[in-house]
Amino acid sequence: MSKIIFITGATSGFGEAAARKFAAEGYNCIINGRRSDRLQQLADELTSTHQVEILPLVFDVQDEQAVNKAIDSLPEKWKAIDVLFNNAGLALGRDYFDEADMGDWTRMIDTNVKGVLFVGQAVSKLMAKRGKGHIINMGSIAGQEVYEKGNVYCASKFAVDAISKGMRIDLLRHGIKVTCINPGAAETEFSLVRFKGDAGTAASIYNGIKPLSGADVADVVFYCSSLPDHVCINDLSITCLRQANTVYFNREPAKP
Ligand code: NDP
Ligand code: 8X3
């Protein structure tokens, strides 16, 4: 029987790349995001390319009731979730602490922290009933080191790190693995969202480096999920070759 992965934030970036990777590897996928048109398009493409089933599930991870309703109303066969890629998240703004927008902070906390908790708890209950499962939370190297103007985005990812550690302890009795993946700079829609559609500033983040791609991270997620039952990668950090941590880059000079 095919395995099932539940991916939040599958309309772009890491989540979309993971849907492509896991579908290609024969997983049936529950894919989530708020943009229903993109989800449906991805579902149509993957079902026509691979011998798998894809279930699009539109909801906002910030909305606890919507999360629980969507997961409770899954058809019984889709509740046998093997892997949760708890990935939906965002950064909004890159501003000094005293100048940042409170609305941006609220959305980051509601999405990156509360969203991870809402989806994580609902799915962990299903996994606990089966006595197995694997939860892969999306952290960041921003959850390991704070950088200038990173304040609340970093805080939200430090929280994901702590939540992952807590889940790992509390879910041990149910045989559930918990992994926290911590990527560095990756070129997805992340920076475009962070800089609110300012494509020039978004692109400048990747000046002089070959950043990670969604597919690079999806490969790592798949690797973590394909190890023997008794083996769990707890934390995994991944950067491109030209990045050492959140601050140190070796950028190739611009060509004249
Ligand atoms: P993208 O912007 O490309 O993708 C983000 C995804 O999250 C989209 O599918 C978006 O879907 C979804 N999403 C955002 N808010 C919500 C919400 N409230 N409810 C449901 N889905 C939501 O960025 P990435 O793929 O890069 O980001 C994915 C994760 O990786 C995030 O948690 C991010 O913090 C983390 N990360 C990113 C890094 C990077 O450099 N790119 C590095 C380290 C970590 P939709 O808008 O349709 O709802
Ligand atoms: C995204 C990586 O360094 O831009 O989580 O915050 S960083």
Other Cβ atoms less than 10 A from the Cβ of 143: the count is 26
Distance CA 15, CA 12 (A): 6
**Distance in angstroms (rounded) separating the CA atoms of residues 10 and 43:** 10
Q: Which atom of ligand 1 is nearest to the CA of 153?
A: 34
Q: What is the pLDDT of residues 201-212, one digit of tens each?
A: 999 999 999 999
Answer whether residue 26 shows pLDDT above 90. yes
Residue with CA closest to ligand 2 atom 5: 140
Position 80 confidence tier, pLDDT thresholds 50, 70, 90: very high
Strand-by-strand arrangement of the 235-238 sheet: 54-58, 28-33, 4-7, 83-86, 133-138, 176-183, 235-238
Question: What tens digit of pLDDT does each residue of 112-157 get?
Answer: 999 999 999 999 999 999 999 999 999 999 999 999 999 999 999 9
Per-residue pLDDT reduced to its tens digit, 167-225: 999 999 999 999 999 999 999 999 999 999 999 999 999 999 999 999 999 999 999 99
pLDDT at 1: 78
Active site residue 96: no
The CA distance from 255 to 76, in Å, is 57
- The ligand with the least distance to the CA atom of 217 is 1
Domains of the chain and CATH, by start: 4-238 (3.40.50.720)
Is the CB–ligand 1 distance for residue 100 below 6 Å? no
Which distant-in-sequence residues (6+ apart) come within 8 Å of 52 by Cβ? Answer: 2, 23, 26, 27, 28, 29, 46
Ligand lying closest to the C-alpha of residue 67:
1
Backbone dihedral angles phi then psi of residue 232, each to the nearest 5 degrees: -130, 125
Backbone angles phi, psi at 162, to 5 degrees: -65, -40
Give the pLDDT score at 212: 98
Is residue 63's pLDDT more than 90?
yes
- Per-residue pLDDT, averaged over 49-56, amounts to 98
Q: Tens digit of pLDDT for each residue in 1-25? A: 799 999 999 999 999 999 999 999 9
- Residues within 6 Å of ligand 2 by CB: 140-142, 150, 184-185, 246
Distance from residue 139's CA to the centre of ligand 2 (Å): 10
Q: Ligand 1 pocket check: which of 63, 117, 163, 190 to mutate, most ligand atoms within 8 Å of Cβ? A: 190
Question: Does any ligand 1 atom lie closer than 6 A to the CB of residue 193?
Answer: yes
| pLDDT of residue 235 exceeding 90 | yes
pLDDT band at 57 (very low <50, low <70, confident <90, very high): very high
Reported as a pLDDT band with limits 50, 70 and 90, residue 254 is confident
Residue with the bigger pLDDT between 1 and 70: it is 70
